[in-house]
Amino acid sequence: MRVPGTPQQNSPGVLKAPRVKMSEATWHKLMAYVIAVGPLEINGFGYVRLTPEDTVWLDRDGAIWIDDVFIIGQLVTAASANTDKAALDAHIASMVQGGTPMEALRFQWHSHVDADAYCSGTDTDSIDQWPGHWLISLVTNKRGERYVRFDTFTGGVRVGVEIELEIVAVTAIPSYVMDGAREEIAALVRQPQRRRPLRRRASEIPVVPTDASGILVTDVSSRPILATDPRPAEVPYEE
């Protein structure tokens, strides 16, 4: 796995105000948490899309995509949301065990309920706790307002910049989903081998007539008549 925070060939702009996108479906999932929790804050995380080599995948616009959001165990009030450290560690352990590398976990979000979406001092303090080299953070509220920022950590110094989160209506099957399906099909799905000659069903096997004693009965009349000269009669040549 490559270490983020160093320039990557396939990820220009990761260090400087990257474009970040999310499908409408993922945004709706995030907002469902925000609304379903009632008059309380809630904190969650999300995965960015990776290449098969576990580097950050970028679309044609050079944008990072956040593909999924989720929550873990936490203690919340109307004005705070504290993630349970043990729950986060357990989640990361099972995530890595399940084949999703740490590189994917680059998104943290929380709701300010009815208050404005802005980055408080508590919020930057929690960003400073992030163990990785970079992080995308979102603060939102029940109105769906957004404050989004991108932070990098180099030598213990955090550098943050406000960015946009583009919500995209995905109307076709994304190419990475198709590629993933093709890869899984190639690995898991097969067809029966063709048998040559094909085994015929009993009903297709011709019944050979026998008499009561089992002796083969030859039915001459059903045989093709081979005695006839198959050549056509000669057509006389007319001068």
> Which residues in this chain contact Zn ion in the complex, by CB under 5 A?
120, 123
What is the DSSP track for 47-83? EE-B-TTSSBPB-TT--EEEEEEE--SEEE-SS-EEE
- Tokens linked to 73: 């165990």
Which is closer to Zn ion, CB of 43 or CB of 152? 43
Sign of the dihedral through C-alpha 12, 174, 146, 81? negative
Nearer to Zn ion, 78 or 90 (CB): 78
Spatial contact of 161 and 19, defined as CB atoms under 8 Å apart: no
Least gap, CB of 155 to Zn ion (angstroms): 26
CB of 110 vs Zn ion, minimal distance in Å: 5
Q: What minimum distance in Å lies between the beta carbon of 57 and Zn ion?
A: 28
Instruction: Report the first-to-last Cα separation within the chain, whole angstroms.
Output: 92
**CA separation, residue 31 to residues 43, 80, 92, 188 (Å):** 11, 17, 23, 36
DSSP single-letter state for residue 129: T
Task: Assign 167 to helix, strand or coil.
Answer: strand
Shortest CB 31 distance to Zn ion, Å: 16
Using CA atoms, how far apart are residues 178 and 173, in angstroms rounded to an integer?
Answer: 7
Q: How far is the CB of 123 from Zn ion (least distance, A)?
A: 4
Looking at the Cβ atoms of 59 and 123, the one nearer to Zn ion is 123
